[in-house]
Amino acid sequence: MAGDTIEGRNLQIFLNGTLLTEPYVEHTGKRPLGIKTLETFGAVKVEQGKLFVAGDNRDYSRDSRDPSFGLISVADVRGKVLQIVRSPDPTRNGVTPK
C-alpha cells in the first residue's frame, strides 16, 4: 500500500524490511521464455493511489516485480470476494462474505 517499501532477495519478499511469510507461494524452478526470473529486485516504494501486486506462482507471474508491469492503480482494481479460502481463523474458511 502507499508508503510501503517492497524488496525481493533470493526468492523472498520483504515488506518494509520484514520478511513476509507466504506459505501459498510456489516455486517450480521452471520459467517460460521471455519472463525474467525476478528472484531479486530492488526496493520499490509504493506511491499514493497505487498497489504492488505479486502472483502466488512466482516463477510464472507477470506482476509488479517486473518494471515493465510496475505498480497498478487502486482505481483499476475490480472484483468481489466470493469465498474465503484460507484464513488464520479456521471458522471463516469456506464462508461467503456478505
Domain total for the chain? 1
pLDDT below 50 — which residues of the chain?
A: none
Q: Supply the pLDDT for residue 90.
A: 78
**Hey, CA dihedral for 50, 15, 42, 62, is it positive or negative?**
negative
CATH of the domain at 8: 2.10.109.10
Q: Give the range of the structural domain holding residue 55, as residue numbers without chain letter.
A: 1-98
Q: Following DSSP, what letter does each residue of 23-64 receive, concatenated? A: TT-B--S---TT----SSEEEEEPPTTEE----SBTTT--ST
Rounded Cα gap, residues 4 and 47, in angstroms: 8
Q: Supply the pLDDT for residue 82.
A: 77
pLDDT digits (tens, 9 = 90+) for 39-65: 888 899 999 999 998 877 777 778 898
- Nearest in space to 46 (alpha carbons), one of 2, 80, 97: 2
Q: Supply the pLDDT for residue 79.
A: 82
Phi, psi values for residue 41, rounded to 5°: -145, 150
